Structure 1
């Protein structure tokens, strides 16, 4: 029998809004849950009423509890008319309910019911789950009292409403939907995007749960005794608490070693109350004991930033009996949180298994912050060459120029000229990263025969001396002498009157945004040149809380397990959490911050399995992807804390698979609201992208080169961020052909035009007089607009304004997430998945089929991209009034209202004349940059973020 009940204790309210005209209110509270309704008593003439009344709801289906909302309404009782007026409401989801032992009284701020309602104050509630059989359910009040109550019970208390709210517009399975949570973070419990009764002084790491660690910094030792017969010692330090121990590196023959290593032991996993720091002598057979220092953990001081780091002290070594011996060890021991500066460089006890004796210097498990290099476009304009000397006599050279920067190689077209001079005038584009390590190498080659080329001359130009430009100014060309690649006859050199030379124009273009990722998911739209950067408009804070239900990615000791870490990417800053070993429900609780320069950018968070932690071997296996989450900044409300559990969805050859859930806390804070609104009117990309645009083929090539450069640089960091991680986070394969993606883009396009189809069907119904009343009203409206054409535009914009205001109540309450229905990933054919996971070029036989197959995939990939772009434009039109970007929608409907008022007082003929003259204006009066409405439109969110 199900004895599970939801207990709600209505404690008190504070600072309610007066409603009776005498500066007071007679308040009572109504509670709605799972079709049941309870009401408190009425507190007459009291703005700070105290009830202390408890109610118990039956939970009909415990498995459905996370999707059952608790709605709490506060009303003022009007005795004279026997009616009530609204004072505020609170809506809580089932995921925020806790057991009775964890329940505390929380004071929730009252929320509005509509945009025109006024509320204030807060309500104190204690909510908990109990299975005590002795508790009897409360007696509900009659469910029929008014039409308003009937509507609320039948519509607001149904769990299906909550499920739709947490899914995308295209419904998908609940298991793949977003789940809102109310965790306890550093600032308190988060409910509805606000911190309830938290620690108001906590400003650091307030988006994650505070985790306490015992930090031990082993600095150095001195005057260690000799342990070997040769009078030497090979010391190392072993830090041990219970079953967990960390080991420093050892030094050979050194009595005054210096380690300067930090160890962090999670207080949640401590199984002892004594910390032992032991110095041992490394030996071939058995390590010798040198000395020990013991600490009582209960007496270790607490250090919380911004306190200064704890100063290390010298401690005398003791033998096993506790007597002082020769030698001293410098240590610093303190208790801190993950906000400590030593956290990222520490050895962590939750990253190893108990009694693990691996060295403490393992770097593949540490958390790190990476900065991707500044990328420049290298533009090489090969103009001409003079006095080319071919290797063969009695022939003119069939010359072309090969340009190389690192692994990037491009060639001009061969020129068959009847002289020793060649003219190309071709532009070649490359990507280079600071600091410039590779040189620009140009070689003029002569095509002697099929498959046989000979070098005529070569020139090497260091990139550090190449001119840089941040605008569209002209770069002067230069002549460079070509050097002979091999030793030639001295007499032949004397006969030559002129040396071969080449005419070039080379520059580093910093006015572009180097597209190191897909433009749909770009996280940084600034140019490379720093002098063109604008001030930031806000701060993005991300708290990576935990992951639950992860799928095992490997086997260890005959059981499935995973060694997971998270990677977050935004702008040039990449972050990596520490690796938690052998844990399918890891708790990271790490917080990171980014500056935001443009709201039309996307944060990407991925989860990976660390395959470099191996017992033996080189650790050359690839890190396995578990899933990722993309969040567009413009869809976040300013100042609100979003705490959601995101499903980690990955495509496999047999279909889509949920690999677990990732729990995140996100907050976007605006530093300059005016600058942020002004950003919507600026071009999406820097000026150079419009003055000197690239072709689609050039963009694909440059993006591929940029991702390879970023992966190579981050792979050289310590610990390295591997290439497969960078490629997965940058969506390098998003342009490849996929039948699934093509179908998804097609259905997105059909969804965009579904509104037009509905209007056409409605107009057909009007013409067919299916509803005579509606048809007559449409005829009357049509006659009014014909007689008064000046009302057409004001009516249209006023209608758009009213639609936007009406849709405000249905605006999304959550960030967008990947949708399996939109991605067409649920019922995909196995053959289509085999095609999508096939390599490019294909590995299928025979050769003729491979050639045609590759050509088809290449062409279809372009079509797929075009269809997706068209769908994205239509989705941006829908986003104007859907409040997906709350700032953009507010700006748009405000402009619609202003336009409606202006057009109402302005004659239609004047407006039409101005529009016509503006459209047909002279080219001298046209600006080369996009218009303000175009810039605003391109920043609107599309459903590209929800695509797998």
Structure 2
């Protein structure tokens, strides 16, 4: 029963194509006929009454003060929204939009008041405008925005008697597809004031373009130590922002040291940081002396788009020590130490700012290397059900939920639904797809930045969903409720369900199929590969940069949300993850064990008919060995076709059993949620414990990678990726036919000669089978 709670559920939402925009006889929505919407067809249509308050003119001044501090108040039933007020201004410009949800409207009249702000006492009434909702027009994009009009202000009684002053308004009925929706003041968020208003709006973010800064430190000349009686032990330290890297100390004690080492940093556009290189002398184990420094802006370096060589340059260093003081040009030496560098900016890949297990974009940074998109991903974030209360408000549980989706460089954040355990967003977003073997990640969070004290709090995690695009059939709308599962120190917990509508549309099927034979990354990645340690360091720095840049937006995408979406802690040691990866490998080996048991049964004649058939097949293959290979391919073809009827119908989701999250021991959870470095025990215990966790984390990653490769082999005939299985099944059929008519000796000779071919005939790029295999899905997408 508990497993059923954690499973994916089918839903039947009333999507836009089934909800015409304005049905005849629908009361205050009447007026547009029965034209269906052309956009937002993956979400349920939500109707809003929009009121755009633009400006006012010729407002009367207060007889006592001789001035007016005007503001506008929009009132609809029990809901009331106000604009900001201006001091001593008779012609104010507000330019604000108010939105009232149809399902919460309890009045047929809309009132717009203009009032005079008073510091003490009740604000003075200036005038008002009244609208009958049955007369309000309906607007649906792509119709042009409704033009605002001037309205004369009426007196308090509303009997048609006009007063001095006019206000410019636009009132219409629309949906969440309206351009005014993201910036509008919503009636359901009336309790939010001040800076909190900016933190509840929906926004689209673009992560910064990342580049590798490769600094090849070749050599230096005329390095003079501060102590002329000793030969310096010199090394170079480079810094970009908070990234600091060092070369090894030159093994030869000389004034012209040679290193020829690469220092690789991550830089983000716009390049507002500098490369600072210092030459230092290791005087002792605890003391380094500065001998020279140079500061270079990143904008002067060449952007390298291919594997062409980059020319090296000599740079003069600023001197430190005797004879030259920083900032004192009078004591500057007539000669200077020099350093020989080869520096360039290489197009980083967006895989660097996220975990390699859940890649959402494999394009290079340089737009010149981009290929045309092969498809479009459309996502409808409908609603959430059964969310847990994340905070206490007025003595009761409350949740202010918003959803974040990330794919490629584009991040989206829905608006925050205030105080609701079943929020409805119904927002639709679109991404271009350049590779189907990518993952879109969604996270649900509780907004803790609505009040004045929100700056010191962190948005709480509610749950996460991942969807691999290659597991989706093209042009099919998937509507499911995904379980939101989080692991807490007390154990695994379901926080609710996220209802989504997903559609992956293919623009060119031939191009998409061709991608399965192409390398995952551009050519430069394979010609100048990075080490494992470099990749770990670069990925950490990229995550830090992306989180910092997105946190500078308005409203900011909080660091805790970005880190959760990017799985920043996925490399840390966890006994639970290690056991999960171990049992993934055991599940793969179970197939081999099953074959061994079956063969043992054959040897023991437990099923005589099967044993006789195996003996006959064995004799045929012995007498005709050329049939072995085509028979194997034909057998795999039959298995692939047979498994088609049992192919998965739903996209993968978080699997608590696969993640080993249900039966985890409390002590293991305490270890998993422990800080890194650990906060437990003595200093020596802490050092040893952290070292153990670091080594174990690498072992865990290797075991997980082994499990992933095995699951990819297992999944080639499972139709989890229907396009990949189709290609392999067709290949098996063609290979079986070719091998049946081709002599075995010819096949063996060609295969052997190809395997032993000369290096000049080999490509530095991965082979087609390797590229195909790396694109196959695994159960990693369902891991917590």
Mapped to 2, the partners of 1:236 and 1:756 lie a distance apart of: 76
Q: Which residue of 1 aligns with 2:312?
A: 477
Match of 2:401 among 559, 564, 568: 564
Match of 2:551 among 701, 712, 715: 715
Q: Which residue of 2 aligns with 1:269?
A: 104
Q: Which residue of 2 aligns with 1:901?
A: 737
Question: Superposition pairs for residues 712-791 of structure 1, below 5 Å?
Answer: 712-791=548-627
Q: Which residue of 2 aligns with 1:52?
A: none
Mapped to 2, the partners of 1:611 and 1:360 lie a distance apart of: 12
Mapped to 2, the partners of 1:489 and 1:471 lie a distance apart of: 42
Mapped to 1, the partners of 2:348 and 2:246 lie a distance apart of: 25
Are residue 338 (structure 1) and residue 173 (structure 2) matched?
Answer: no
Mapped to 2, the partners of 1:530 and 1:452 lie a distance apart of: 45
Q: Which residue of 2 aligns with 1:173?
A: 3
Q: Which residue of 1 aligns with 2:442?
A: 605
The alignment partner of 1:859 has SS state of helix
Structure 1 residue ranges without an equivalent (≥5): 1-162, 164-171, 190-198
Q: Which residue of 1 aligns with 2:338?
A: 501
Q: Could you tell me how far 1:330 is from its partner in structure 2?
A: 1.1
Q: 1:359 to 1:852 in 2, by over 3 A?
A: closer
Q: Could you tell me how far 1:200 is from its partner in structure 2?
A: 9.4
Deviations 1:803-850 (A, max 9, x none): 111111100110000100100000100000000000110000111111
Mapped to 1, the partners of 2:244 and 2:85 lie a distance apart of: 47
Are residue 528 (structure 1) and residue 365 (structure 2) matched?
Answer: yes
Q: Could you tell me how far 1:272 is from its partner in structure 2?
A: 1.4
Are residue 792 (structure 1) and residue 605 (structure 2) matched?
Answer: no
Q: Which residue of 2 aligns with 1:156?
A: none
Q: Which residue of 1 aligns with 2:24?
A: none
Q: 1:187 to 1:492 in 2, by over 3 A?
A: closer
Match of 2:290 among 433, 455, 474: 455
Question: Superposition pairs for residues 304-703 of structure 1, below 5 Å?
Answer: 304-322=140-158, 323-353=161-191, 358=193, 362-415=197-250, 417-484=252-319, 488=323, 496-510=333-347, 512-614=349-451, 616-703=452-539
Q: Which residue of 1 aligns with 2:83?
A: 248
Contact 2:291–2:321 (CA under 8 A) maintained in structure 1: no
Contact 1:648–1:660 (CA under 8 A) maintained in structure 2: yes
Mapped to 1, the partners of 2:329 and 2:232 lie a distance apart of: 18
Q: Which residue of 2 aligns with 1:210?
A: 45
Contact 1:219–1:258 (CA under 8 A) maintained in structure 2: yes
Contact 1:376–1:508 (CA under 8 A) maintained in structure 2: yes
Structure 2 residue ranges without an equivalent (≥5): 20-33
Mapped to 1, the partners of 2:364 and 2:623 lie a distance apart of: 53
Question: Superposition pairs for residues 859-938 of structure 1, below 5 Å?
Answer: 859-938=695-774
Mapped to 2, the partners of 1:557 and 1:760 lie a distance apart of: 65
Q: Could you tell me how far 1:548 is from its partner in structure 2?
A: 0.5
Q: Could you tell me how far 1:342 is from its partner in structure 2?
A: 1.1
Q: Could you tell me how far 1:485 is from its partner in structure 2?
A: 5.5
The alignment partner of 2:309 has SS state of coil
Are residue 816 (structure 1) and residue 668 (structure 2) matched?
Answer: no
Q: 1:250 to 1:926 in 2, by over 3 A?
A: same
Q: Could you tell me how far 1:512 is from its partner in structure 2?
A: 4.5
Mapped to 2, the partners of 1:471 and 1:619 lie a distance apart of: 45
Q: Could you tell me how far 1:233 is from its partner in structure 2?
A: 2.0
Q: Could you tell me how far 1:399 is from its partner in structure 2?
A: 2.2
Mapped to 1, the partners of 2:638 and 2:649 lie a distance apart of: 21
Mapped to 2, the partners of 1:811 and 1:734 lie a distance apart of: 30
Q: Could you tell me how far 1:420 is from its partner in structure 2?
A: 2.0
TM-score by length of 1: 0.79
Contact 1:305–1:340 (CA under 8 A) maintained in structure 2: yes
- Greater shift after overlay, 440-449 or 478-487? 478-487
Q: Could you tell me how far 1:483 is from its partner in structure 2?
A: 1.6
- Greater shift after overlay, 716-725 or 694-703? 694-703
The alignment partner of 2:85 has SS state of coil
Deviations 1:151-203 (A, max 9, x none): xxxxxxxxxxxx9xxxxxxxx700000001122111129xxxxxxxxx99543
The alignment partner of 1:544 has SS state of strand
Mapped to 1, the partners of 2:572 and 2:657 lie a distance apart of: 20
TM-score by length of 2: 0.95
Contact 1:637–1:886 (CA under 8 A) maintained in structure 2: yes
Deviations 1:754-803 (A, max 9, x none): 11111111112112222222111111001111111221122111111111
Mapped to 1, the partners of 2:753 and 2:689 lie a distance apart of: 51
Mapped to 1, the partners of 2:646 and 2:351 lie a distance apart of: 38
Contact 1:248–1:360 (CA under 8 A) maintained in structure 2: no
Q: Could you tell me how far 1:396 is from its partner in structure 2?
A: 2.5
Q: Could you tell me how far 1:618 is from its partner in structure 2?
A: 4.8
Are residue 803 (structure 1) and residue 633 (structure 2) matched?
Answer: no
Q: Which residue of 1 aligns with 2:27?
A: none
Mapped to 1, the partners of 2:590 and 2:196 lie a distance apart of: 60
Give the structure with the higher percent helix. Answer: 2
Mapped to 2, the partners of 1:454 and 1:316 lie a distance apart of: 77
Q: Which residue of 2 aligns with 1:182?
A: 12
Q: Could you tell me how far 1:230 is from its partner in structure 2?
A: 4.3
The alignment partner of 1:890 has SS state of helix
Contact 1:247–1:360 (CA under 8 A) maintained in structure 2: no
Q: Could you tell me how far 1:488 is from its partner in structure 2?
A: 4.8
Mapped to 1, the partners of 2:324 and 2:432 lie a distance apart of: 62
Q: 1:506 to 1:899 in 2, by over 3 A?
A: same
Mapped to 1, the partners of 2:578 and 2:771 lie a distance apart of: 27
The alignment partner of 1:187 has SS state of helix
Deviations 1:721-775 (A, max 9, x none): 0000000000010110000000000000111121111111111211222222211
Q: Which residue of 2 aligns with 1:3?
A: none
Q: Which residue of 2 aligns with 1:943?
A: 779
Mapped to 1, the partners of 2:73 and 2:145 lie a distance apart of: 23
Q: Which residue of 1 aligns with 2:25?
A: none
Q: Which residue of 2 aligns with 1:292?
A: 128
Mapped to 1, the partners of 2:329 and 2:39 lie a distance apart of: 75
Mapped to 1, the partners of 2:109 and 2:731 lie a distance apart of: 68
Mapped to 2, the partners of 1:783 and 1:633 lie a distance apart of: 46
The alignment partner of 1:362 has SS state of helix
The alignment partner of 2:319 has SS state of coil
Deviations 1:637-660 (A, max 9, x none): 001110000110000011100000
Q: Could you tell me how far 1:325 is from its partner in structure 2?
A: 1.4
Contact 1:247–1:359 (CA under 8 A) maintained in structure 2: no
Mapped to 2, the partners of 1:816 and 1:205 lie a distance apart of: 25
Contact 1:514–1:527 (CA under 8 A) maintained in structure 2: no
Equivalent residue pairs, number: 765
The two structures, once aligned, show a CA RMSD in angstroms of 1.9
Mapped to 2, the partners of 1:618 and 1:678 lie a distance apart of: 50
Q: Which residue of 2 aligns with 1:848?
A: 684
Q: 1:601 to 1:811 in 2, by over 3 A?
A: same
Mapped to 2, the partners of 1:906 and 1:205 lie a distance apart of: 56
